[in-house]
Amino acid sequence: MKMKRMRRRDIELVQKIVTHFFIITIGMGMLYPVAWLISASFKETSIIFTDPSLLPKTITFQNYIEGWKGIGIVNFGTFFKNSFLISFLCVAANLVFCSLTAYAFGRLKFPGRDFWFALMMLTLMLPSHVTTIPRYVIFRTLGWVDTILPLVVPRLFATDAFFIFLLVQFVRTIPKDLDESAVIDGCGKFSIYLRIIMPLMVPALITTMLFTFLWTWDDFFNHLLYLNSPQKYTVPMGLRLFLDASGISSWGPMFAMSVLSLVPCFVLFFSLQKYFIQGITTTGLKG
Amino acid sequence: MKHRSIHFFKDVFSSYAFLLPWLAGFFFLTLYPMGYSLYLSFTNFNVLQSPRWVGLRNYLIMFTGNAQFPRDERFLNSLGVTFRYVFLSVPLKLLFALAVAMLMNQKLRFIPFYRTLYYIPTLLGGSVAIAVLWRRIFSADGLVNLLLRTFFGVPNPPSWISDPRYALYTLVALAVWQFGSPMIIFLAGLKQIPQEYYEASSVDGAGKIRQFFAITLPGLSPIIFFNFVMQMISAFQVFTQAFIISGGSGGPLDSTMFYSLYLYLKGFAFAEMGYASAMAWFLLVIIAALTALAFKISGSLVTYGSGE
């Protein structure tokens, strides 16, 4: 009996070790390209493509210095500044307007609510292409092309249905008694939103902030449509310009700037990963 | 008739005040543009001059052509490329996601850490930086071929991204690589399946494989379905990676000319916005039809637990 139990524990231990081994091996395979990119950005350009190793023999920062200069008059400082500005404005707008909308859908009772909510959910599945061209025409008529307005202003109208959905899910879990006692204390709808719902919604708001930042930071299509002059380019556009303008010789600087462009995403993810996981599991956010 | 007090109307009014930004956005940035692009799809429009009505011509050019204009073979090709991409990458991605999620769904240490690591490709994958990296590692003298030559002794590996036979598959690989989101969702779903089911069935003598088909798969079916629909919708719209990897050309030989890339080129490079609008509406129809089809099929395949 004792023998048998021992053996079973041994088998379980071996099984565990094998599983760990598999998970780590597959994981390393998956992360190898990213690790290689980071390592290559510190290697001398001449050896980048003959060296598959992850540890550079000599570390050089030359690629970063070269890359930061960008092309001609515009350096990567400008691209980063533009990207941060747009991302910051979009995050702020989404936090305010998606939460207002979510409060209305998740908490208030009014005729037509379920109808509008169903329509909002439908827009989740709508391919953005059917609105791309008319929006371009509208923004062009307004003289907004080559400004950041077409990228930011739509956010003032809670156009990111994903976050409304995420926040509605969250609002519904907040106990109703809190509102009711606030009503007795004489609070109106807006002060309930501001004083009760918003503070309790913080975890979902952080998720909203993270994904809004990430998607705005990585957005390429809209930047390609609306930003024309290099002074207004964001980081993705800057990378693309760099890719087109520079020949085979500058893969080192190219990689260095690519790594830099990923740093904000890394920092946010590792400092707030709990909220990422929550956001993905509660709504099944796309990746 | 029930008397509705002033208080009621005030209440409705103030509720709608909260919805106002979204409502305005819905009408002016979604509904009106949709109607407008539907109208544009029946016109010839180059932004500079006002749209000129051409009836069904744009749609005819897409599929059959007419006496004046030949059929747009590039359009049909882009449709084929996109379908191949979607129906290769999405099932493969979900398969990987499910396999890894099951591997992780055990009482092991470091699982949260592993989960984080596996999410990194998804976190970064949509960026231009990773597309640039992909373009470089799959080029003729890139990292993949370096590894193939030095470690696997392949003398003449293909030049992946510049070979029309393989270019699309490098993009499929890039999509499958980012299986982090469905994996996390599967992992959460697996935890919802009651452990007693497995215990009871192993008492009855069911093996691991049988348990997978009898318990795990039916238990996860709503989540698999959900993941499939969401991934499919976003895969149809893939743009950034195709644009960067092919340098905006959809090449070589249009082998990575995705639907949205072609739509972009038509609308913004060739200024055929009427035609691009027709393409956008056709994409909407495809996605709606496939989603409806998925829902219909799921009626017989997806098991919803009583707890839902």
- Provide, as residue numbers in chain B, all residues whose Cβ is less than 8 Å from the Cβ of A108: 15, 18
Task: Give Cα B220 distance to the centre of its chain.
Answer: 20
Averaged pLDDT for residues B48-63: 89
Same domain, B3 and B109: no
**Closest to A161 (Cα-Cα) out of A133, A130, A128, A134:** A128
Predicted pLDDT at B304: 62
pLDDT band at B307; cut points 50, 70, 90? very low
Predicted pLDDT at A174: 87
Q: Do B18 and A281 touch (CB under 8 A)?
A: no
CA distance A175 to chain B (A): 19
Q: Give the one of B21, B134, B237 whose C-beta lies nearest to A127's C-beta.
A: B237
Which segment of B25-34, B90-99, B137-146 scores lowest on mean pLDDT?
Answer: B137-146
**Can you give the C-alpha Rg of chain A in angstroms?**
25
pTM: 0.89
- Provide, as residue numbers in chain A, all residues whose Cβ is less than 8 Å from the Cβ of B277: 130, 133-134
Predicted pLDDT at A208: 92
Residue with tokens 């976190």: B123
In a domain, B180, yes or no: yes
Same domain, B160 and B226: yes
pLDDT band at A250; cut points 50, 70, 90? confident
Same domain, B30 and B131: no
d(CA A31, CA A36): 8
Predicted pLDDT at A269: 87
pLDDT of B252 > 70? The answer is: yes
Q: Do A235 and A197 touch, CB atoms closer than 8 A?
A: no
Same domain, B28 and B104: no
Q: Do A265 and B127 touch, CB atoms closer than 8 A?
A: yes
Same domain, B242 and B100: yes
Predicted pLDDT at B90: 95
Kindly state whether A182 is in contact with chain B, defined as any CB-CB distance less than 8 angstroms.
Answer: no
Q: Do A284 and B227 touch (CB under 8 A)?
A: yes
pLDDT band at A243; cut points 50, 70, 90? confident
In a domain, B213, yes or no: yes
CB pairs under 8 A between A and B: 251
Predicted pLDDT at A284: 58
Query: What are the pLDDT digits (tens) for A76-121?
Result: 999 999 999 999 999 999 999 999 999 999 998 899 999 999 999 9
As given in the structure block, the two tokens for residue B237 are: 């719209």
How many domains are contained in chain B?
Answer: 2
Which residue segments constitute the domains of chain A, with CATH numbers given? 66-283 (1.10.3720.10)
Q: Give the one of A19, A103, A259 whose C-beta lies nearest to B106's C-beta.
A: A19
Averaged pLDDT for residues B187-201: 86
In a domain, B41, yes or no: no
Kindly state whether B115 is in contact with chain A, defined as any CB-CB distance less than 8 angstroms.
Answer: yes
Number of other CB atoms surrounding residue A66 within 10 Å: 17
Query: What are the pLDDT digits (tens) for A20-61?
Result: 898 899 899 899 999 989 988 898 877 777 777 777 777 888
Question: Domain containing B220 — which CATH number?
Answer: 1.10.3720.10
* Averaged pLDDT score across all residues of chain B: 87
Total number of residues shown for chain A: 287
pLDDT of B92 > 90? The answer is: yes
Cα distances from A124 to residues A127, A128, A135, B161, B233, in angstroms, run: 8, 10, 18, 33, 10
Same domain, B19 and B80: no
Domain assignment of residue B9, given as a range: 1-35
Same domain, B26 and B160: no
Same domain, B163 and B276: yes
Decide which of B94 and A5 is more confident. B94
In a domain, B53, yes or no: no
Same domain, B122 and B21: no
d(CA B12, CA A223): 39
Predicted pLDDT at A182: 83
pLDDT of A280 > 80? The answer is: no
Kindly state whether B292 is in contact with chain A, defined as any CB-CB distance less than 8 angstroms.
Answer: no
As given in the structure block, the two tokens for residue A75 are: 């350096």
Phi, psi of B53 (to 5 degrees): -65, 125
In a domain, B54, yes or no: no
Q: Do B142 and A22 touch (CB under 8 A)?
A: no
Query: What are the pLDDT digits (tens) for B17-42?
Result: 999 999 999 999 999 999 999 999 99
In a domain, B66, yes or no: no
